Amino acid sequence: MAHGARRRWIDRLAALSAGTLAAFMPVLSAGADEAPLEYAVKATYLYKFAPFVTWPPSIAQKATFDLCLSGSDDVTKLAPEAAEGQAVNGKPLTIRRLAAGESADTCQILYVAPSPTAGLLLDTVRNKPVLTITEAAATNHGIIGFTVIQHHVRFDIDNALAKNAGLSISSKLLSLANAVTPVLGEVR
Amino acid sequence: MFRFFIVAFMLISALSSARAQTIENLRGMSIDQLANLDVSSVTKTAEALSDAPAAIYVITHDQIMRSGAQTLPDILRLAPNLQVYQVSASSFIVTARGFSGNINDQAFANKLLVLIDGRSVYTPLYSGVYWDMQDVLPADIERIEVISGPGATLWGANAVNGVINIITRKAKDTQGGLIDISAGNLEQSVGLRYGGTLSDDLAYRFYVRDYFGDDTETASGANAHDHWSRPQGGVRFDWTPSGADSVTLEGDDFAGSEAQPGAPYEDIAGRNLTAHWTHDFADGSSLQFLTYYDREERATEDNGGNFWVDTYDFEAQHNFTPNDWNTINWGGGFRVSDYNIHGNAGLQFVPTSRGLDLSDIFAQDSIAIDPSLTAIFGFKIEDDPFSGVTPLPSGRLSWKVGGQALVWAAVSRAVRSPTPFDEDVVEKAGSSVLLTGNPYFVDETLTAYEIGTRIEPAERLSFSISAYYNDYDDLRSIELTPVTFFPLTWGNKLQGDTYGFESWGNYQLYEWWRLSASFTELREHFDFQPGSTGVAVGVSQIGDDPQKTATFRSAMDLTPDVNFDWDLRYVSKLPNPVVPAYVEMNASVGWNVSKTLRLSLSGFNLLHARHQEFPASEADAVPRSFSVGLQWRF
């Protein structure tokens, strides 16, 4: 084996040359991301729920379909990429990041990342036709809440909240849900 | 040479393969398919492990990345149920529940089982771990499960005081390129990793890393002349030919060189290749095969002695559920370690080479007595190289109290079986023999009694407490030759017990601020069996362990892209030889400048210019250090 000190210099040179070669590699590959699959799945769900939800007729007249993101987590980071160029019921999907304090009234779908103020924003749209989505474990949860069960990303649906918001959720989506909070008075 | 092969391979594959289009793939899926997609590679397995009836702590990928730690021993400091002592730039002692050893008495920490993706990395020569020979790119670690206490039935040989299970990420979770540079006053590291797919069901990654550790300081502040360097490279392939089968093939190759004060450089080298195959049957049962080859080499230059060890291992395991209240795991394994030791004037082995055969069969039944109460009975029979057949039984009970608490208890037997260092060693000073191995050396045994609980009283609060009583017998002792004293030899004439507890907790104050704390306590009582001739050496040969350790850690996301973490750790006085108690602090700031670029600044052991973690007669001091880090994804 080579003497230690000399070997060390050879090592450094080799590492540097490997690094230099690597520096030219971005042109060869698009921006890969290492965010775990769980969040990519959640981000994809956001717009995939839409075909199973019926909004009031007033919304049907809007030219675009607005998916709003509030707060910041791995889902809000991935959602723009996931939903880019998609259409919902023939309308182009617009992705909007809500600034702090910005109204969510004109959103059709609203994803609220966990944060201390998440509950406040959700309360402002409780009786408006906005499909709210949060983590199921959130204290103040949305109509749809994500939950990871046995390595699968599933969701709970609060149908009572949906009814208050004037949204109708298809039985197909309800059957896929992990748990459904029934509309008051409904027998399940 | 290996590196140039890697670089060439990297360029070819970059040209020929497309990156994994995870998001693209998800777009094409129906909502049913999304709901049925297995995201297990990323699910926090910590949650599933919260049912395990053992003292288990899981170091997560996120914790590792935020800490800025560059070597496995420094990463293992994150586990409150381990004690880590830095001895020199490249040498560390890692232990659980005492038994840190005594280097001057030739007692080296040797009671842990350490696995990297299922490959056992403690050396068969003395059952300790050469930590300088174990490296994983920190960004590729998925999680590290640290179990304190015996795990022989479940995990395998040498799991006496603990098990460290290092699990790396699947290739499909490390797609794209990563350049990871860390530069500091004590450590420099350059890592390059690239992952891609060859087809929908075959993903790969490869990496090269060069690590340099600079000279540390002696207790008096002089240069300890112990700098070292260690280049390593490796590949991993994950293939899922069907929904029921998954195959992993991975390997690493490294070489390094370490300065030794007053002696020529010591060179280290090694390579390994591991293959896993898991098949899931339609009835829910599964079959797993694991096989690996591992080579380790160490040589002191200028004919200062050298050795090599080749290990070949094959293991199989079958899990099935015969009815709704029994789950059975059973299997077996066979391991051969061939070695050759070319000693030097002071340290020799007779014979110089052997083939060591280790085999085992085991079965374990988890019985669901009712939905909240599970009993687990395990039995392993191990055929060890020198001592022959030994039974390793264990019984565990776990009880879920409501949805918030788990209470568990366990009784288990474990052994540290004899090694060539116990049986064959010959140490000399000039022509006189100082110490000889003992061909009649037997198993060191442990019967362990444990009880613990894990509680989540609120969504944001969780803690774990484990208490243990360990009863040891036939521990290795230094025995004297009557009248002449020398040569010394090994005996099995130490015995004793230890007891203590380990506790840790997490409090998520806000979504962006997490506090963690831990506290451990250990008491040791050892004495000599009647007839021991080495009483004068004392029981300090077993180890120099602190009675108390504590940590406090704060992890903050100041903004979604900036994190600030710091921790304090306290280690109480080491009793014999005395090392004063110390408190040290690490701190780290990380900034995700963009989706592809992360910058960080880390400081380690900030409170003192240097501090001593192990006696100055055996170890160098650990200096304060800083580093800046850059991680660039492409």
pLDDT of residue B606: 97
Cα–Cα distance, B111 to B129 (Å, whole number): 9
Nearest chain A CA: its distance from B98 CA (Å):
35
Rg (CA), chain B: 24
- Say if residue B592's pLDDT is above 50: yes
Residues forming a β-bridge with B209: B191, B232
Chain B positions in Cβ-Cβ contact with residue A23 (cut-off 8 Å): 179
- Say if residue B568's pLDDT is above 70: yes
In this structure, the dihedral spanned by the alpha carbons of residues B323, B327, B328 and B329, taken in order and rounded to 10 degrees, is: 150
Residue B180: φ, ψ to 5° = -125, 110
Amino acid identity, position B365: D
Nearest chain A CA: its distance from B18 CA (Å):
7
Other C-beta atoms closer than 10 Å to the C-beta of B244 total 12
* pLDDT bucket at A185, cuts 50 / 70 / 90: low
The pLDDT tens digits of the residues spanning B496-537 come to 999 999 999 999 888 789 999 999 999 999 999 999 998 888
The pLDDT tens digits of the residues spanning B340-351 come to 999 998 899 999
Other C-beta atoms closer than 10 Å to the C-beta of A21 total 15
Tokens 């675009």 found at: A64
* pLDDT bucket at B39, cuts 50 / 70 / 90: low
**Mean pLDDT, rounded, for B274-295:** 90
B199 burial class (0-12, 13-18, 19+ CB within 10 angstroms)?
A: exposed
Nearest chain B CA: its distance from A81 CA (Å):
8
The verdict on a CB contact (< 8 Å) between A38 and B194 is no
Q: Which B residues, 5 through 24, put their C-beta within 8 Å of a C-beta on chain A?
A: 6-7, 10-11, 14-15, 18-20, 22-23
B301 burial class (0-12, 13-18, 19+ CB within 10 angstroms)?
A: middle
**Mean pLDDT, rounded, for A155-178:** 88
H helix runs in B404-529, sequence order: 420-423
Chain B positions in Cβ-Cβ contact with residue A115 (cut-off 8 Å): 511-512
Q: What angle do CA B301, B304, B305 make, to 5 degrees?
A: 110
Residue A140 or B264, more confident: B264
Q: Does B31 touch chain A (CB under 8 A)?
A: yes
* pLDDT bucket at A29, cuts 50 / 70 / 90: very low
Best of A24, A115, A152 to disrupt the B interface by mutation (most B CBs within 10 Å)?
A: A152
CB B365, CB B328: distance < 8 Å: yes
At the second CATH level, the architecture of A37-181 is: 3-Layer(aba) Sandwich (3.40)
Tokens 């492990």 found at: B49
Cα–Cα distance, B290 to B314 (Å, whole number): 6
**Mean pLDDT, rounded, for B204-219:** 95
Nearest to B23 by CA among A81, A66, A1, A30: A81
Residues 6+ apart with CB under 8 A from B224: B88, B89, B215, B216, B217, B218, B261, B620, B621
**Mean pLDDT, rounded, for B237-250:** 90
Residue B231 is inside which H or E element, if any? strand B228-242
pLDDT of residue B50: 60
Give the 3-state secondary structure of residue B430: coil
pLDDT of residue B325: 81
Closest chain A residue to B231, measured at CA: A11
- Say if residue B428's pLDDT is above 70: yes
Residue B25: φ, ψ to 5° = -60, -40
Q: What is the pTM of this model?
A: 0.75
- Say if residue B15's pLDDT is above 90: no
pLDDT of residue A184: 59
Instruction: Using CB atoms, pick whichever of B43, B208, B257 lies closest to residue A4.
Output: B257
- Say if residue B9's pLDDT is above 70: no
The tokens describing B174, both together, are 């490390």
pLDDT of residue A150: 63
Cα–Cα distance, A71 to A77 (Å, whole number): 10
Instruction: Using CB atoms, pick whichever of B20, B34, B510 lies closest to residue A44.
Output: B34
Instruction: Using CB atoms, pick whichever of A86, A116, A152 lies closest to residue B510.
Output: A116
**Mean pLDDT, rounded, for B160-180:** 93
The verdict on a CB contact (< 8 Å) between A22 and B6 is no
* Highest mean pLDDT, choosing among A2-6, B233-237, B341-345: B233-237
Give the 3-state secondary structure of residue B68: coil
Cis omega (within 30 of 0) for bond into B351:
yes
The tokens describing B610, both together, are 């240097």
The pLDDT tens digits of the residues spanning B380-420 come to 999 999 999 999 999 999 898 876 788 999 999 999 999 99
Q: What does DSSP assign to residue B261?
A: T
* pLDDT bucket at B45, cuts 50 / 70 / 90: very low
The verdict on a CB contact (< 8 Å) between A38 and B32 is no
Tell me, rounded to whole angstroms, the distance of Cα B164 from its chain centroid.
4
Residues forming a β-bridge with B446: B414, B472
The tokens describing B203, both together, are 């993903």
Mean pLDDT of chain A: 78
Cα–Cα distance, B209 to B191 (Å, whole number): 4
Cα–Cα distance, B565 to B562 (Å, whole number): 10
H helix runs in B458-504, sequence order: none
Instruction: Using CB atoms, pick whichever of A3, A31, A36 lies closest to residue B301.
Output: A3
The tokens describing B413, both together, are 């037997």
Looking at A171-180, B218-227, B246-255, B507-516, which range is the least confident one? A171-180
Q: Domain extents for chain A?
A: 37-181
The pLDDT tens digits of the residues spanning B483-498 come to 888 899 999 999 999 9
Residue B421: φ, ψ to 5° = -65, -30
SS3 content of chain B, % helix, strand, coil (to 5): 10, 60, 30
Nearest to B226 by CA among B244, B209, B214: B214
CB A4, CB B267: distance < 8 Å: yes
CB B585, CB B567: distance < 8 Å: yes
Residues 6+ apart with CB under 8 A from B522: B97, B98, B498, B499, B500, B545, B546, B547, B548
**Sign of the dihedral defined by the CA atoms of residues B610, B611, B615, B618, in that order:** negative
**Mean pLDDT, rounded, for B264-293:** 92
**Mean pLDDT, rounded, for A137-150:** 85
State the total domains in chain B.
1
Instruction: Using CB atoms, pick whichever of A15, A40, A173 lies closest to residue B22.
Output: A40
Q: Residue B575: which domain range?
A: 2-633
The tokens describing B567, both together, are 């921790």
**Mean pLDDT, rounded, for B31-39:** 74
pLDDT of residue B597: 94
Q: What does DSSP assign to residue A122?
A: H
CB B390, CB B376: distance < 8 Å: no
The verdict on a CB contact (< 8 Å) between A29 and B14 is yes
pLDDT of residue B19: 25
Q: Does B26 touch chain A (CB under 8 A)?
A: yes
The verdict on a CB contact (< 8 Å) between A4 and B20 is no
Cα–Cα distance, A76 to B102 (Å, whole number): 53
CATH of the domain at B226: 2.40.170.20
pLDDT of residue B370: 81
Cα–Cα distance, A129 to A133 (Å, whole number): 13
Nearest to B230 by CA among B268, B194, B176: B268
Of chain B, the percentage scoring pLDDT greater than 70 comes to 94
The verdict on a CB contact (< 8 Å) between B175 and A137 is no
- Say if residue A119's pLDDT is above 70: yes
Tell me, rounded to whole angstroms, the distance of Cα A121 from its chain centroid.
16
The Cβ-side half-sphere exposure at B227, using a 13 Å CA radius, reads 13
pLDDT of residue B400: 82
Residue B33 or B442, more confident: B442
pLDDT of residue A36: 66
Best of B3, B42, B207, B227 to disrupt the A interface by mutation (most A CBs within 10 Å)?
A: B42
pLDDT of residue A34: 38
Amino acid identity, position A68: C
- Say if residue A27's pLDDT is above 90: no
Q: 3-state SS string over B451-483? A: EEEEEEEECCEEEEEEEEEEEEEEEEEEEEECC
Cα–Cα distance, B596 to B444 (Å, whole number): 51
Amino acid identity, position B10: M
The pLDDT tens digits of the residues spanning B107-154 come to 999 999 999 999 999 999 999 999 999 999 999 999 998 999 998 777
Give the ipTM: 0.75
Mean pLDDT of chain B: 90
Of chain A, the percentage scoring pLDDT greater than 90 comes to 28
The tokens describing B569, both together, are 């750790």
Residues 6+ apart with CB under 8 A from B119: B272, B274, B292, B294, B313
Looking at A54-58, B321-325, B415-419, B611-615, which range is the least confident one? B321-325
The verdict on a CB contact (< 8 Å) between B7 and A30 is no
Q: Is B161 left (phi over 0), alpha (psi -120 to 50) or beta?
A: alpha
Chain B positions in Cβ-Cβ contact with residue A78 (cut-off 8 Å): 23
Cα–Cα distance, B9 to A117 (Å, whole number): 50
The pLDDT tens digits of the residues spanning A60-69 come to 778 888 999 9
Residue B282 or B422, more confident: B422
